[in-house]
Amino acid sequence: MEIIKPSTIAGVMELLPDEQKVLDEMKTTIEETFKDYGFSSIDTPVIEKNEVLFAKGGGETEKQIFEIASDSKDMSLRFDLTVPLARYVSEHFSELNFPFKRYQVGKVYRGERNQKGRYKEFYQADIDIIGHNELSIYNDALLARVIFEAFKKIDFPNVTFHINNRKLLNGFFKSLEIEDSTEVLRTIDKKDKIGLDKTKSLLNDIIGEEKSSKTIEFINADLSNSETLENLDGLANTDSYNKGLEELKTVYDYMVKFGVSDKNIKIDLSITRGLDYYTSTVYETFIDGYESIGSVCSGGRYENLASNFTKQKLPGVGMSIGLTRLFYQLKELGLIEDKKKSEVDIFILPMDSKFNFYAIDVLKRLKEEGKQADIYLEKGKFKKKLNYADKINANYVVIIGEDEVSKNEVSIKNMETGEQFNKSIDNLDFGN
């Protein structure tokens, strides 16, 4: 028979079981945290209609899409979880309760060019709160609290939320009489990549030196949060600016109240998050000490989630963790290694198949106690069996041979300490 080389397509993350376990646990913990705050799970299909995916117009995204081959060329794989959310909320509008709080952790697809750390298939973990007609600004702080707790629970208690407000930015630019701020925002967005000097010289070209200086001064002040807020007070005086400042203050105050402490927040006026979508709060989240890997959770508030699909006004706020990319980066930094845990707690090892029934009785007793336990049923030398138990990282091996059976006992080996002790099968506790 012809042998075909077994390989995945390029640009996907496929893990061995010990690493998969770490990723699975991160995923589960994040989901549990979302659930604990009353977010509902939804699970939309991976394939969507093209008319849904491109309702907003394709643009850059369209080039990256995985389209399903068919005569009608009318469906593709989703490239994010936000378009499906908009479609879901519109389609099921009358059956949902608003504010609608949903989470979805799922794979999305983009035809990225092959390069390290870029994936064609990757998990996103999204939470959004969608209102009908209105949604209080307090939710923007609640969301940060939920994300803060999720990171804490996956062992990253030290993260910093960089927050800003798009109304504030727009109002500021208006006060400088910059009518079209699109190009300015786009330039600011690149600041971390291109550096401050380059940003400044680009801004000089667009809006002239004076406005450029004021803009740089505005976005780059390295002040405490309270100093920044004080500084912003009265700095401009347009409706948008004042409204934005009020919102930013409220979100900051509520975040602190919700237990995201001041040191985990940075009011950062250089955060812009893309150009069209967000209309108020925007956030990026950085792991302290690992800022170089970029934002690990981003999002913001939008005026209207689903104007392409419904006439209902659906304002919302959402954040998204790029889970696959985060995992890749943590792995690169060596932060996954010590999270790899044992595959099995208790491994039962009959020395000969004639002890199998006895061993199965032991397994059943352990299962009644809710233990994680596995049994070895293959033939082979004792050493080979013990070697396997070691390789799968069993915490305890329960050895069953002639001696043990004759005494109604088992012999328990603690694989970490090497200790070995006998226990009656009627009293299978694993302390010494």
Q: Segment 121-150, which members bind its own copies (CB under 8 A)?
A: 121, 131, 134-136, 138-139, 142, 149
Q: Is 328 in the site for its own copies (CB under 8 A)?
A: no
Residue (171 or 300) nearer to its own copies, CB: 300
Q: Is 40 in the site for its own copies (CB under 8 A)?
A: yes
In terms of Cα–Cα distance, which of 287, 292, 270 is closest to 189? 270
Residue (206 or 428) nearer to its own copies, CB: 428
* d(C-alpha 101, C-alpha 122), whole Å: 23
Q: Is 94 in the site for its own copies (CB under 8 A)?
A: no
Q: Residue 227 Cβ, how far from its own copies at the closest point, in Å?
A: 23
Q: Residues 43, 45, 50, 52: what is their CA dihedral angle, to the nearest 10 degrees?
A: -30
Q: Residue 226 Cβ, how far from its own copies at the closest point, in Å?
A: 18
Q: Is 382 in the site for its own copies (CB under 8 A)?
A: no
Residue (296 or 317) nearer to its own copies, CB: 317
Q: Is 57 in the site for its own copies (CB under 8 A)?
A: no
Residue among 30, 79, 99, 316 that touches its own copies (CB under 8 A): 99
Q: Which amino acid is at 116?
A: K
Residue 274, C-beta contacts closer than 8 angstroms, at least 6 positions apart: 189
Report whether 279 belongs to an annotated binding site: no
Helix (H, G, I), strand (E, B) or coil at 208: helix
Q: Which stretch binds its own copies (CB under 8 A): 37-45, 176-184, 260-268, 414-422?
A: 37-45
* d(C-alpha 394, C-alpha 222), whole Å: 51
Q: Is 414 in the site for its own copies (CB under 8 A)?
A: no
Report whether 358 belongs to an annotated binding site: no
Give bridge partners of residue 375 from the DSSP assignment: 348
Q: Which stretch binds its own copies (CB under 8 A): 8-16, 276-284, 330-338, 409-417?
A: 8-16
Name the region of 159 (left: φ>0; alpha: ψ -120 to 50; beta: rest).
Answer: beta
Residue (106 or 171) nearer to its own copies, CB: 106
Report whether 417 belongs to an annotated binding site: no
CB 50 within 8 A of CB 75: yes
Q: Residue 386 Cβ, how far from its own copies at the closest point, in Å?
A: 13
Strand order in the sheet with 346-350: 373-375, 346-350, 396-400, 409-414, 420-424
* d(C-alpha 257, C-alpha 263), whole Å: 13
Site for its own copies, residues 230 to 249, rule: CB under 8 A: none
Report whether 128 belongs to an annotated binding site: yes
Residue (152 or 211) nearer to its own copies, CB: 152
Site for its own copies, residues 152 to 191, rule: CB under 8 A: none
| Main-chain dihedrals φ then ψ at residue 346, nearest 5 degrees | -125, 125
Q: Is 207 in the site for its own copies (CB under 8 A)?
A: no
Q: Is 109 in the site for its own copies (CB under 8 A)?
A: yes
Report whether 78 belongs to an annotated binding site: no
Q: Residue 243 Cβ, how far from its own copies at the closest point, in Å?
A: 17
Site for its own copies, residues 348 to 377, rule: CB under 8 A: 353, 356-357, 360, 363-364, 367, 371-375, 377
Residue 92, C-beta contacts closer than 8 angstroms, at least 6 positions apart: none
Pair of tokens at residue 226: 């309270």
Q: How many residues bind its own copies (CB under 8 A)?
A: 97
The count of other CB atoms within 10 Å of the CB of residue 74 is 11
Q: Residue 338 Cβ, how far from its own copies at the closest point, in Å?
A: 19
Q: Is 432 in the site for its own copies (CB under 8 A)?
A: no
Q: Is 257 in the site for its own copies (CB under 8 A)?
A: yes
Residue (207 or 410) nearer to its own copies, CB: 410
Q: Residues 235, 218, 278, 47: what is their CA dihedral angle, to the nearest 10 degrees?
A: -170
Helix (H, G, I), strand (E, B) or coil at 241: helix
Q: Residue 198 Cβ, how far from its own copies at the closest point, in Å?
A: 37
The full length of the chain comes to: 432
Q: Is 388 in the site for its own copies (CB under 8 A)?
A: yes
For the stretch 48-68, what's the b/e string if a residue is b when 16 or more beta carbons lie within 10 angstroms of its beta carbon?
bebebbbbeeeeeeeeebeee
Q: Is 412 in the site for its own copies (CB under 8 A)?
A: no
Pair of tokens at residue 362: 């032991």
Q: Which amino acid is at 356?
A: N
Residue among 185, 392, 415, 425 that touches its own copies (CB under 8 A): 392
Report whether 37 belongs to an annotated binding site: no
